[in-house]
């Protein structure tokens, strides 16, 4: 096999597996609140709790994903986690009450966390070393496509076909994801690094659950996710408040298009010119988009803000993810992925609650101004925890080389 080839059969299969996995997630995430309020007769608070339970399970179990892959191998964890995700996707068809829904959501969230981490790690192992930035950018593009298509399909099917049809579609997507993931035979990061799979029963240490070298960039990801949660959670409510709610779906179309279109260019730039050239402009564009959204009283400004936010966020996320992965040794890249998404999930969960409380007191416009400020602040955190530190390490290496 050509070591420089990116679009191998295994890479295509794991990308498609990830697409259908996230498609099922976003379809459910969008339509489930309607199911809770209309199908089960629950309140808006109960609808929100159904998402919170999912995130809690994801946060609790994601740190163990890297450890499980290290102990038992990436491919085995991919197969088991995707199979469990499929089984809990089918379980929605048998839900008969709110308490049972929360139970299914909890286990679904846990399997989703492990499945996304393991498929991500498998993809990283398949991508040629000198094309990591480009490969990760393409891989995350499939997740972005699911984020664009999933909500639209979920709401459309719920409206015209009912909740049973929506749950059945998610189960079919989970099945396709499992079949594609199980048939992927990519070489693991552990094998590439010539590291043995650890099967000892030694006492569990925090270093077995968290990759320390990925924490600095993961903190930047936490801040970005905190602000991003305000967009996903409250966008439709804000558009309704501004009396332009009929354009909210088009906002996400513009958002999605600008995530997808520049992604191939971003990946190649990341490999060729480095992360700093992309990160700082992306943060600025993302913050400007949030400021535009805070003032969006017309359809045109709403759609423009969606495109600008999509451009900034769409370039920033794969950059942060690539930095986290390359910061770790090859045999610990599964842990690095888990660490990054652990803090990202925490930022998203904490942000949804905190920004919702702020919006209830000061309004959504003020909330989005704060989001813009928080995003701008992430550049300072990025510089302090990653850029400055990397520059100091490079200077130290140069001095050591000169003295020798």
Domains with residue ranges and CATH for the chain: 9-188 (1.20.1250.20), 210-394 (1.20.1250.20)
pLDDT over 70 (residue 188) = no
Confidence of residue 87 (pLDDT cuts 50, 70, 90): very high
Confidence of residue 247 (pLDDT cuts 50, 70, 90): confident
- Rounded to an integer, the average pLDDT of 91-97 is 91
Tell me what pLDDT residue 207 has. Answer: 64
Q: What is the dihedral of CA 253, 282, 347, 143, to 10 degrees?
A: 40
Run of H or E including 328: none
Confidence of residue 361 (pLDDT cuts 50, 70, 90): confident
pLDDT over 60 (residue 190) = no
Can you tell me the distance from the alpha carbon of 339 to that of 208, in angstroms, rounded to the nearest whole number? 11
Tell me what pLDDT residue 200 has. Answer: 45
- Rounded to an integer, the average pLDDT of 317-334 is 83
Quick check: 335 and 210 in contact, CB under 8 A? yes
What pLDDT digit, counting tens, does each position of 257-315 carry? Answer: 898 888 778 877 877 887 888 999 999 999 999 999 999 989 999 999 999 999 999 88
Specify the higher pLDDT residue, 259 or 201: 259
Tell me what pLDDT residue 88 has. Answer: 96
Characterize 243-278 residue by residue with b for buried, 16 or more Cβ atoms within 10 angstroms of its Cβ, and e for exposed: ebeebbeebbbbbbbbbbebbeebbebbbeeebeeb
Closest Cα partner for 158 from 45, 21, 32? 32
* 50, 287, 293, 322 from 283: Cα distances, Å: 31, 6, 15, 16
DSSP 321: H
* Paired tokens of 196: 């043995």
Tell me what pLDDT residue 400 has. Answer: 46
Listed in sequence order, the DSSP H helices in 295-363 are: 299-327, 333-362
Closest Cα partner for 126 from 66, 170, 189, 178? 189
Indicate the pTM of the whole model: 0.74
pLDDT over 80 (residue 322) = yes
Confidence of residue 208 (pLDDT cuts 50, 70, 90): low
């Amino acid at each position: 096999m050509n070591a420089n080839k990116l679009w191998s059969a295994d890479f295509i299969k794991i990308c498609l597996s990830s697409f259908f996995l996230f498609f099922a997630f976003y379809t459910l995430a969008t339509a489930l609140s309607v199911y809770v309020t209309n199908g089960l007769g629950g309140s808006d608070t109960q609808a929100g709790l159904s998402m919170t339970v999912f995130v809690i399970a994801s946060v609790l179990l994601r740190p163990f994903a890297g450890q499980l892959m290290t102990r038992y191998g990436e491919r085995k964890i991919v197969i088991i986690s995707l199979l469990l995700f499929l089984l809990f996707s089918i379980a929605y068809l048998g839900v008969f009450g709110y308490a049972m829904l929360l139970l299914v959501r909890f286990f679904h969230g846990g399997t989703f966390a492990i499945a996304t981490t393991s498929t991500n790690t498998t993809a990283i192992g398949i991508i040629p070393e000198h094309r990591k930035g480009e490969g990760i950018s393409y891989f995350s593009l499939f997740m972005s496509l699911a984020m664009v298509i999933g909500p639209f399909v979920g709401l459309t099917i719920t409206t015209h076909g009912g909740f049973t049809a929506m749950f059945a579609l998610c189960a079919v997507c989970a099945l396709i994801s499992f079949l594609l993931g199980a048939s992927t035979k990519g070489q693991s990061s552990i094998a590439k690094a010539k590291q043995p799979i650890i099967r000892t029963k030694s006492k569990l240490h925090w270093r077995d659950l968290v990759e320390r070298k990925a924490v600095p960039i993961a903190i930047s990801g936490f801040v970005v996710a905190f602000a991003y949660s305000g967009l996903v959670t409250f966008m439709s409510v804000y558009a309704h408040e501004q009396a332009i709610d009929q354009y909210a779906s088009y906002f996400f179309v513009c958002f999605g298009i600008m995530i997808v279109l520049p992604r191939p260019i971003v990946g190649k730039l990341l490999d060729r010119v480095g992360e700093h050239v992309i990160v700082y402009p992306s943060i600025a564009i993302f913050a400007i988009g949030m400021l535009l959204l805070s003032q969006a009283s017309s359809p045109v400004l709403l759609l423009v803000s969606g495109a600008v936010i999509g451009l900034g966020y769409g370039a920033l996320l794969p950059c942060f993810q690539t930095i986290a992965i390359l910061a770790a040794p090859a045999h610990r890249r599964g842990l690095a992925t888990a660490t990054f998404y652990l803090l990202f999930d925490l930022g998203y969960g904490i942000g949804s609650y905190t920004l919702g409380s702020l919006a209830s007191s000061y309004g959504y416009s003020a909330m989005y101004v704060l989001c813009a400020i928080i995003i701008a602040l992430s550049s300072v955190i990025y510089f302090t925890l990653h850029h400055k530190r990397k520059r100091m390490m490079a200077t130290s290496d140069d001095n050591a080389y000169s003295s020798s």
